Amino acid sequence: MAGEGFADALRRRLAQDADREVIREPQRCLTGGDLLNRAELIAGWLARQAECERATTIGLALHRNSWMIAAALACWRLGKAALFLDYRLTPTDARSWLRRAGPVMIVASQARLRDAGAGVAIMPDPDTLPAHAFADHDAAPDDISEFVTSSGVTGEPKITPISHERLLGMVRASAEDGRRGPWGEALSPLSVAFGGSRHVWWRNLLAGKRIHAMEMLFSTAELDRALREPGVEECGLPPHLIRALLDHARRHPGPEPRYPHLLKLHCIGGPARAEDKLAAQQLLCADYLMTYSSTETGVLARISGTDLRRKPASCGKVSLPPGARLDIIGEDGARLPVGEAGRIRVSYPARSGGDTIHLYPGDHGWIDDEGFLFITGRGAGILCRNGVNFSVAALEAKLMASGLLRDVAVLPMRAAAGDDALAIAVLPLHPGASEIGRNLRRHLVSHEQPEHLIRLHPTDLTPGGKIPRAALLERLIAAPQDLEHI
């Protein structure tokens, strides 16, 4: 339908699925009609909030994915844009978003956010809300629907508005693009505050394919059981959860691969290690797929099947829309030849006679003579300590090779003069492991020994499963005693 927007298309689809299950949660199942009714209740509640009248955008920080999705539908019914936020945000985070994205109100389900002050409303369980009349708004295709938000791993998150028409085009393209491979009923263990997870919800709800939703906090054993549930056909996970599943499969042997029924087990976000990719294809799912992407650029490369077995260290061949290109560039901005490592740059053709658009995912890498992309690390990442220069990426790879970690981040703490100070944040493979600090330090030579060795927990990660490097460094500088040192 020409000029159609996502809000109208999704509402029409849910109305068609009014009696069919579209979301399966641990405690209940929702039909399309249930989801629309929940959105009606939330819209009525929102309309009664004093902060809502002046807001053009409503930030959503709720601890259930189905609540977030229904709340977005409610925002659109009121003519508001939806901004998806991490439900774990602090009062300080909330005040920052209120300043950056205003005029905005934030809807949360965590009572502690009352301390954030004006602009934050605490919503109860939406199914307990009374019905209330509100002025319905017909969302125009060019109205802002939501925002693409960067992970904020290395800096403050960037927010980019997208219209209902563009969102609909993006969702339909992902459903119809054969390059993405087969897909079906999806297990959703990640928060929809992560754009990749939210996109799967939009795609499946619009296409009439069920979503299997998990609670936001889960164990590896619970994730393993959920992946084996009847009906689950695909799942996207960050590298650290793939590593956790591999460890679980080794400690609890069973059939290989463990999830033969999956159409696709998808590793998303940052690049995965070669040994993890090979092991995942053997132990977890023969149709294991790794995608290398960034929020701003979208999918850049993917690898699976025989390509993965042949070149496991690669992210796959570059895959971009027509007219776009990926280059490896040097410090002077010039393109580098095949085989030379440099900064990754993605270029898109200019619109309406403007300049070519250049985007930088933040990683360094190189391309071989067959067009396969390899990642060498984030940024230049060169440290100098005790007169020795060494790479952040190499040190992280060395720590990961210890077999003790799910993930790690080396955080340079620039000194005013002299050597760089160093902090290392680690996510242990086994949360209860003792003496992890002593065991890790044994792998490091003198110039690699950190001033701070910090233990992370899964709740410290971004909604997309990444270590929030910039925010963690800020916390370390401001209040080192608040972090768990090991």
Is 418's pLDDT higher than 70? Answer: no
Q: Specify the higher pLDDT residue, 270 or 176.
A: 176
Answer for the pair 122, 109: CB distance below 8 angstroms, yes or no.
yes
Residue 172 structure tokens: 């339909």
CA-wise closest residue to 227 among 272, 273, 260: 260
- Give the sheet arrangement for strand 81-84, strand by strand: 120-122, 104-108, 57-61, 81-84, 144-149, 159-163
Q: Residue 211: its pLDDT value, please?
A: 98
Work out the angle between the directed axes of helices 195-207 and 65-77 (0-180°, nearest 10): 70
Among 238-247, 286-295, 392-401, name the most confident range.
238-247
State the pLDDT confidence band at 263, using cuts at 50, 70 and 90. very high
Distance CA 328, CA 75 (A): 41
Distance CA 338, CA 327 (A): 10
Cα 84–86–88 angle (5° rounding)?
Answer: 150
Q: Give strand ranges (E) for 288-355.
A: 288-294, 298-304, 316-318, 325-329, 342-348
Answer for the pair 59, 146: CB distance below 8 angstroms, yes or no.
no
State the pLDDT confidence band at 1, using cuts at 50, 70 and 90. very low
Condensed to tens digits (0 to 9), the pLDDT of residues 465-482 reads: 999 998 999 999 899 888
Average pLDDT rounded to a whole number, residues 213-237: 95
Q: Residue 260: its pLDDT value, please?
A: 96
Task: From residue 77, give the alpha-carbon distance in Å to each of 38, 129, 145, 448.
Answer: 12, 17, 11, 55
Distance CA 436, CA 404 (A): 8
Task: From residue 58, give the alpha-carbon distance in Å to each of 21, 42, 92, 110, 375.
Answer: 28, 12, 17, 16, 37
Average pLDDT rounded to a whole number, residues 198-211: 97
- Contacts of 34-38 spanning 24+ positions with Cβ under 8 A: 35/66, 35/69, 35/70, 35/73, 35/205, 36/11, 36/73, 38/66, 38/67, 38/70, 38/126, 38/127
Distance CA 235, CA 153 (A): 23
Condensed to tens digits (0 to 9), the pLDDT of residues 82-100 reads: 999 999 998 888 888 988 8
Answer for the pair 451, 485: CB distance below 8 angstroms, yes or no.
no
Return the bridge partners of 294, or none: 298
Prediction pTM value: 0.90
Q: Residue 57: its pLDDT value, please?
A: 96
Chain center to CA of 166: 20
Domains and CATH numbers, the chain: 6-168 (3.40.50.980), 218-378 (3.40.50.12780), 382-482 (3.30.300.30)
Q: Specify the higher pLDDT residue, 338 or 180.
A: 338
- How many beta carbons lie within 10 A of that of residue 427, not counting itself? 22
To the nearest whole percent, how much of the chain has pLDDT over 90? 65
Q: Residue 22: its pLDDT value, please?
A: 98
Distance CA 272, CA 242 (A): 9
- How does DSSP assign 179-228, residue by residue? GG----SEEE-S-TTSHHHHHHHHHHHHHT--EEE--SS--HHHHHHHHT
Average pLDDT rounded to a whole number, residues 278-285: 97
Q: What is the mean pLDDT of the chain?
A: 91
Is 380's pLDDT higher than 60? Answer: no
**Dihedral (CA of 179, 184, 187, 192) sign:** positive
Condensed to tens digits (0 to 9), the pLDDT of residues 97-153 reads: 988 888 899 999 988 888 777 799 999 999 999 999 999 998 899 999 999 988 778
233-265 per-residue burial string, b: 16 or more CB within 10 A, e: under 16: bbbbbbbbbbbbbbbbbeeeeeeebbbeebbbb
State the pLDDT confidence band at 432, using cuts at 50, 70 and 90. confident
- How many beta carbons lie within 10 A of that of residue 131, not counting itself? 10
Distance CA 59, CA 405 (A): 34
Is 379's pLDDT higher than 80? Answer: no
Average pLDDT rounded to a whole number, residues 19-48: 97
CA-wise closest residue to 383 among 373, 395, 371, 375: 395
* SS3 assignment, position 423: strand
Q: Specify the higher pLDDT residue, 355 or 78.
A: 78
Q: Residue 13: its pLDDT value, please?
A: 98
Distance CA 382, CA 380 (A): 6
State the pLDDT confidence band at 456, using cuts at 50, 70 and 90. very high
Condensed to tens digits (0 to 9), the pLDDT of residues 323-337 reads: 899 999 998 989 999
Residue 132 per-residue DSSP state = -
**Dihedral (CA of 413, 293, 288, 366) sign:** negative
To the nearest whole percent, how much of the chain has pLDDT over 70? 96
